[in-house]
Structure 1
């Protein structure tokens, strides 16, 4: 197995998934929940992302093609959904819902969306896995790609499990400021995904 190829795969997936950056998003999305719920979200999001990425590693474009969805359409839909999440972060709708449900401890679950899909297993990481699977050129190398993907997700999980300590360090004001900033960045990322998808269809600015 080519070590250089595995290092390239690790760097590619680490940069695309960005576990460090996603930790702050994870904190914002789970702010106000208890530790048990936060750990459950962390584990569930990484497990779901691993399943989705494994599926696309083996079947790739055939999965989307079977149901008639192009990667471009996937980018646009993911961008729209992320934009809606960004609006909730910017206007405190998530915080208000959590406060309303605090007594029942019935917290919203962002593990599948948006943490697993499309933050961890988004168009970028899915496309990367499809490309790396094509480049692997053998079952042994393909297994290496899957191992690298799982390693990146384990790193993300480790960061997520430390979110409580980071949240305490930031404090309530820090969390509010961080949530607003991340909402703006998430909105920009959503718009970029939509533009990339439209550009693939030949629509957009040159």
Structure 2
């Protein structure tokens, strides 16, 4: 385990270094309902005007109230058109922003990172300096490596080279770490983990853009840091 202010280099074991579719559907459904009520209102008003008695015409106040209702319905339709357009624009902007992450190294909330080209990276933020017991598990939940190391207070990068407890090299894939840490007096301290990886694609299938690090999906709002390559 070594500490440095430069980018991590691969070593045996571990190394730490300092360092919107549903919305559119709702609007569309509401707009259709309002439009139906609007057409019905016009039909009823027209029928009422045609069939009013010359000896007992429609009361002026009542007629005015109906016209106000008419204006209100029309305004609702216009507002829904505007909202729908804004949602469409927002979705397009979000997608464009997501595409800009491709090729960038990001740090995001999470504990599962890909082992690729002999290295997997995490960021560990220690509440205070102390000792960390790090456990690495594969995608099936089996423990493949445990390691005890000293970590400084604050944020630092932990690198794993894929070596297992038996001395073998773990295959490429997704691995999850857990960190149990204590301070210098032996008291438990909080150690927050984040994943580090390069975004290689964007998944739009769910309607919300998801950043992809290999097979790992990361919501944009979980990104904590972006480093352009």
**TM-based fold match above 0.5:** no
Larger radius of gyration: 2
Which one scores higher on RCO, CA 8 angstroms, separation ≥ 6?
Answer: 1
Instruction: Give the strand-richer structure, 1 or 2.
Output: 2
TM-score by length of 2: 0.21
